[in-house]
Homo-oligomer: A and B are copies of this chain.
Amino acid sequence: MTDASAPRPGLSAIFEPKSVAVVGASADPSRIGGRPIAYALRAGFKGRIYPVNPNREEIQGLKAYPSLDAIPDEIDFVLLAIPAKAVPAALAAAAAKGARGAVLFTAGFAEVGAEGAAMQAELVATARAHGIRLLGPNCLGMFNTEVGHTPTFTSGLESGMPLPGRVGLVTQSGAYGTHLLSMARDRRIGVKVWVSTGNEADVTAPECIEYLVKSDSVDVIGAYMEGVNDREALFRALAAARAARKPVVMMKVGSSAIGAEAAASHTASLAGSDASFDAALRRFGVLRARTTEEMLDVLYAASISPLPRGRKLAVVTVSGGAGVLMSDAAEEYGLEMPALPQDAQDRILARNPLAAARNPVDLTATVLNDFPIVTEGLQALEEAGGGYDMTAAFFTSWTASPVVGPKLRAAILAGLPGGVTTPFAMICQGGPEVNDAYEPDGMMIFEDPSRAIRALAALATLGEGFARAEAEEADPEPLPELPEGFALPAHALSEREAKALIASAGIPVPQETLAATPEQAAEAAAALGGPCVLKIVSPDIAHKTEVGGVALNVSGGPAMLAAAQAMLASVAAHAPDARIEGLLVGPMISGGVELIVGARRDPVMGPVVLIGLGGVFTEVLRDVAVRLAPVTRSEARAALNSLRGAALLHGARGAQPVDLDAAADAISRLSVIAAANPDGFDSLEINPLLARPDGVVALDALLTPLTAEETPA
């Protein structure tokens, strides 16, 4: 028996065993216990298969054994197609034979309630005690065509093994994973490894992703996710993928759940878990696909094409309409379409006066009579200072024509003498022969122009993620440092205390005076001169305005005296039990742009920062950016610029631009506080952080501690 707390073995026994026992093996290749054997035989499994069935001598041409004990050799992996109650004994027997991996198809565990969950916990304990990694239960298994290992009953292999290729697919839904598998075949994606993780009692989807990152036979990874329980494992897997420069395309369902979380508090609802999930994927350069089709298109593209260095798109077309359509799509998906340099335009027009040469480059149907126009057009693009990062070329049904097709292909290849070095999408028609004619040279085939542009834009996003990784690895940007001994208290803070806290971390706050009495407040106002702000100070009052605890634009001692007296009376009436620590007097600071900057502990993704413009932008338009904490100043700046209302920061409507560096610095500092205390707070919000041309200042701050049930044990 293995110590349950010891490091768990890796997944190679699950993904690439040399010998497999199938307990509950069936002679019928359509049954759950029969399919995995039939598939393995078809896939040419390179190891040994031991069907276990007490009632048969032979199963699907293989010698069968009455029990695991009866198998004469060691086994690496055991497939369990048996009732739940028989599983513990089978695991023990498998372990005795040396097994380190197992898959359990059976349903009826944690997904059906408390009793099933208890059974599942027991199962995991048994597996761990025996040093066995367990895939499932309630899953459809997996396959790895590299070694022909197919412990799965998915119907996705019924029509044959996947196309050759180097894509790995991880799915948390067996049924939808099967659907994906069929769609992937139609999309010409070669799925090398597929794994459905079911209840994830032991092996999780992030672990499988990490395994695929390390696998030599997989280059591109797709994942269909429904939820994540272990963020550290997810981050580890995605960081590994990024370090290995393996593109990951992920679909995460459940985004509309945000809408249902109506009762959540203000910041909570904005930083809801879907936005935090997005933030995590952004951090690691993962491409989040919104639809199945998008995921498959991007997997297809990434498995064929190099990644681009930028977003400059050249469009070549033989239909003006398709050129316009692709220009629209380029704008929608954030690609740039700079015009060709004038000399390149001149060259194209000299050759073909009917052409449009700006970009899109419309070579027109004249090409049909003069294919070198294509070659020369592509050369003109290539030689245009190397300015384009990718090409979309519309040739409609010409590719499929027996007469025109080969001429076109030759003309295109002649136009790319150095081969495909930047993404090249052909938008055209035809069957698998057309794919076979272009894909081996690195050209992608699409039928719908909009889908081609979307995929090119996705490649650009993946390329940007890797470029960021490269830059960070070469020259990591330092994070702001917190002062020695900086700590977040575990209790609520008054505004004054919260401001002092963030000030100590380097975030500018106004110079304020804490007055004990209205008279002291009046003195402070007189000393400050000019208009002042007066606020109540109490650890028990989170929303000061609601109790009459804020007075703006109070000028001079007498006015301040009156305002302070009125405030104390109002607060006493509205919040009679609140502990009053005093009255805060500060200068009235106005103008600039109000930001809301919050740090929050997401229950799934941990500490995140939330950045928005104040007022209607956050409250009505939900125009916020969420990022995993910590963020560097550059990341904070990029997040600010990603807001729909970012123009306001750059001086829209005649205003002066605000000090973006100062804003980014404050955000970065707040994010460092949050990251240093991942389980130590609920939220820490600066609202507003006033951004002005000459800097920023936090006009209010609020620390909300964890509630009792959130506090980690």
Contact = CB atoms under 8 A, between A and B. Distances in A.
Interface of A: 30, 112, 155-156, 158, 172-176, 178-179, 182-183, 186, 224, 226, 251, 253-256, 259, 290-293, 318-322, 324-325, 327-332, 354, 365, 396-397, 401, 403, 429, 447-451, 615-617, 619-621, 644-645, 647-648, 652-653
Q: Which 4 A-B pairs have the closest CB atoms?
A: A173-B321, A175-B319, A291-B450, A256-B331
A176 B328 contact: no
Contacts of A365: 175
A623 to B, nearest CB: 8
Contacts of A644: 620-621
A292 B450 contact: yes
A186 B653 CA distance: 50
Contacts of A158: 397, 401
A566 B645 CA distance: 36
Nearest to A365: B175
A254 B182 contact: no
A305 to B, nearest CB: 21
A493 to B, nearest CB: 26
A531 B179 CA distance: 69
A452 to B, nearest CB: 11
Main secondary structure of the interface of A (DSSP, over half): helix
A251 B325 CA distance: 10
Contact of A253 (B291, B324, B652): B324
B448 A292 contact: yes
25 contacts: A112-B354, A156-B397, A158-B401, A173-B320, A173-B321, A175-B365, A176-B319, A176-B396, A179-B319, A179-B322, A179-B396, A179-B397, A179-B429, A251-B325, A253-B328, A256-B331, A290-B450, A291-B329, A292-B325, A292-B448, A293-B450, A293-B451, A615-B653, A616-B653, A620-B652
Given A179-B396, A396-B175, A429-B179, A616 B256 contact: no
Contacts of A173: 319-322
A448 B291 contact: yes
Nearest to A397: B155
Nearest to A171: B321
Given A450-B290, A621-B644, A652-B620, A176 B331 contact: no
Nearest to A155: B397
Most B CB atoms within 10 A — which of A179, A331, A644, A653? A179
Given A155-B401, A226-B320, A226-B321, 16 more contacts: A158-B397, A173-B321, A175-B321, A176-B322, A178-B396, A179-B322, A179-B429, A182-B447, A183-B429, A183-B448, A253-B321, A291-B329, A616-B652, A620-B648, A620-B653, A621-B621
A211 to B, nearest CB: 21
Contacts of A112: 354
B328 A254 contact: yes
A322 B175 contact: yes
Nearest to A366: B107
Given A179-B397, A319-B175, A256 B293 contact: no
B450 A327 contact: no
